[in-house]
C-alpha cells in the first residue's frame, strides 16, 4: 500500500466532513493511549524487561539459593524429640504430660546431640522422629549440664548426618539459619536471620524459673527460635552447623542464643573417648565484669570474673578446687595462667580449654590487693 492509498483510507470513513484538526487530535489521542498503556504496564512490572501489552507481565525474580541449599542439606539429619510422662493428679488419676525439642544426627549409626534440658527428666520416655517420618526410642548416653548438651542414641543405620562447622571467627551480620521442631508441632521449620553478637553470657532457665544456669560465650541471633527449637542446629550459609539453639530472651523480640559448635565437638570427642562427657571444673559462680557493671558497683577493674552468691547458690562450691584454694565471694579473677579474662575470654571458655588434672595459676583481686594461687582442676559432676 503506497502513501496515496493510506491517505484515501483515512479520509474515506469521514467522507471529507471531518476537519483536519479533528483528525490530528484523534491520532494524538490514540498514540497517547498506547504510550500510557506502555508506561503503566512498565510501572506494574517494576521496569523489568519482558513487559507485554496484553495486560500481563513476565517478571523473573532472582533469589539467592544459599539458604535453600543449606536447608535441603541439613533437614534430613534434623530430628524431633518428644517426651511422654504419666503424671498423677490431685484426685489420684493420671494424665499424660508431653515435651518437645529438636536434635541432629552426628553419626550414621544414630548418635544424636541435643540440649540437656530437652531430656532432663529421668522419668520421661523419649522418642525421636526422623525427617522421613520414622519413630525411634531414644537412650540418653551422656550429659554435660555445664554447657546444656546431651548425647542420645537411637537404633538407626545409614542415617543422614550434619556437617559440623566451626564457631571460631563468627562475625556479627553474617547469615544464620535455624531449623527445629517449632512449638513442638511444626517439624523442621526453617528460619533465617543473622549473627547478632558473639561471646554473650546469659542466665538460662525453664518457663517456671525453677531451673537456672549460666551459659558463657553463646551466640546471639535474630533467626526466630521458638519453644521446641531447643537442641536444633544453627547453620551458616554453607549448611554447616555453627551452634546449637538453646534459649530465647522472652522480654525482647528476635533475641535467641545458641551454644557454639566448638563445645558440641569437644563433648562428642570426650564421649567417644571416655564413654561420658568429661569436663574440668573450677567450682565457682560468677559474672563477667563489664564497664557498666564496674561503674554501678564501684569495682576496681572493668574486666574479669566477679565471684558472687545468689538465690541460695554459693559463690564457691563446697569441696571444689576453688574452695580448697581459698577463693571467696567477692573475689575478682583477672587471669588464668597468662590469659587475661575479658568479655571474649570468659572464665568458662578458658577453663574448658584445659583438662581434668591440669594445674593452673589463678590471679585474683581481694579488697583491692592482687594475689595468686595454684589450683588443680577436677572433673565436673
Write out the three cell numbers for 128.
Answer: 525421636
Assess whether 262 carries a catalytic annotation.
Answer: no
Write out the three cell numbers for 196.
Answer: 547478632
Q: Minimal CA–CA distance to 61: which of 72, 50, 76?
A: 50
Assess whether 117 carries a catalytic annotation.
Answer: yes
d(CA 82, CA 184): 8
Helix (H) or strand (E) holding 137: strand 135-137
Q: Look up residue 51 and give its DSSP letter.
A: B
φ, ψ for residue 262 (rounded to 5)? -60, -35
- Ramachandran assignment for 156, one of left (phi > 0), alpha (psi -120 to 50 degrees), beta (any other): beta
Q: Point out the catalytic residue in the list 230, 262, 266, 380.
A: 230
Assess whether 367 carries a catalytic annotation.
Answer: no
Give the 3-state DSSP-derived string for 274-336, with helices as H, strands as E and coil as C.
HCCCCCEECCECEEECCHHHHHHCCCCCCCCEEECCECCECCECCCCHHHHCCCCCCCEEEEE
Pairing verdict, β 233-235 and 286-288: unpaired
Q: Point out the catalytic residue in the list 75, 99, 144, 148.
A: 148
Cross-sheet strand order for the sheet of 111-114: 135-137, 125-129, 78-88, 94-107, 111-114, 149-153, 139-144
- Ramachandran assignment for 23, one of left (phi > 0), alpha (psi -120 to 50 degrees), beta (any other): alpha
d(CA 317, CA 282): 9
Q: Point out the catalytic residue in the list 75, 99, 117, 196.
A: 117
**Catalytically active residues, by annotation:** 117, 148, 230
Amino acid at each position: 500500500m503506497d502513501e496515496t492509498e493510506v491517505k484515501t483510507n483515512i479520509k474515506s470513513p469521514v467522507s471529507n466532513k471531518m476537519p483536519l484538526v479533528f483528525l490530528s487530535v484523534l491520532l494524538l489521542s490514540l498514540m497517547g493511549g498506547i504510550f500510557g498503556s506502555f508506561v503503566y504496564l512498565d510501572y506494574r512490572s517494576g521496569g523489568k524487561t519482558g513487559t507485554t501489552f496484553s495486560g500481563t507481565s513476565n517478571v523473573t525474580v532472582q533469589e539467592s539459593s544459599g539458604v535453600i541449599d543449606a536447608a535441603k542439606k541439613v533437614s534430613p539429619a534434623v530430628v524431633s524429640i518428644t517426651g511422654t510422662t504419666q503424671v498423677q493428679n490431685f484426685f489420684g488419676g493420671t494424665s499424660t504430660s508431653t515435651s518437645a525439642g529438636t536434635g541432629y544426627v552426628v553419626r550414621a549409626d544414630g548418635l544424636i546431640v541435643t540440649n540437656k534440658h530437652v531430656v532432663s527428666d529421668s522419668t520421661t520416655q523419649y522418642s525421636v522422629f526422623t525427617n522421613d517420618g520414622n519413630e525411634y526410642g531414644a537412650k540418653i548416653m551422656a550429659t554435660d549440664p555445664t554447657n546444656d548438651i546431651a548425647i542420645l542414641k537411637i537404633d538407626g543405620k545409614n542415617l543422614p548426618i550434619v556437617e559440623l562447622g566451626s564457631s571460631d571467627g563468627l562475625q556479627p551480620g553474617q547469615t544464620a539459619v535455624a531449623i527445629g521442631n517449632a512449638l513442638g508441632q511444626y517439624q523442621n521449620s526453617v528460619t533465617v536471620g543473622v549473627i547478632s553478637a558473639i561471646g554473650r553470657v546469659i542466665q538460662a532457665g525453664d518457663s517456671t524459673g525453677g531451673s537456672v544456669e549460666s551459659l558463657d560465650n553463646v551466640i546471639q541471633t535474630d533467626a526466630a527460635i521458638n519453644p521446641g527449637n531447643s537442641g536444633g542446629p544453627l547453620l551458616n550459609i554453607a549448611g554447616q552447623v555453627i551452634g546449637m539453639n538453646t534459649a530465647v530472651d522472652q522480654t525482647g523480640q528476635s533475641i535467641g542464643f545458641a551454644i557454639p559448635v566448638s563445645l558440641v565437638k569437644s563433648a562428642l570427642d570426650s564421649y567417644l573417648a571416655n564413654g561420658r562427657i568429661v569436663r574440668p571444673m573450677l567450682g565457682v559462680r560468677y559474672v563477667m565484669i563489664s564497664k557498666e557493671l564496674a561503674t554501678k558497683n564501684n569495682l576496681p577493674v572493668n574486666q574479669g570474673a566477679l565471684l558472687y552468691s545468689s538465690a541460695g547458690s554459693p559463690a564457691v562450691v563446697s569441696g571444689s578446687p576453688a574452695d580448697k584454694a581459698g577463693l571467696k565471694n567477692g573475689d575478682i579473677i583477672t587471669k588464668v595462667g597468662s590469659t587475661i579474662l575479658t568479655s571474649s575470654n570468659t572464665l568458662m571458655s578458658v577453663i574448658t580449654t584445659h583438662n581434668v588434672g591440669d594445674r593452673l595459676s589463678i590471679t585474683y583481686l581481694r579488697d583491692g590487693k592482687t594475689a595468686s594461687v595454684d589450683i588443680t582442676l577436677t572433673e565436673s559432676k
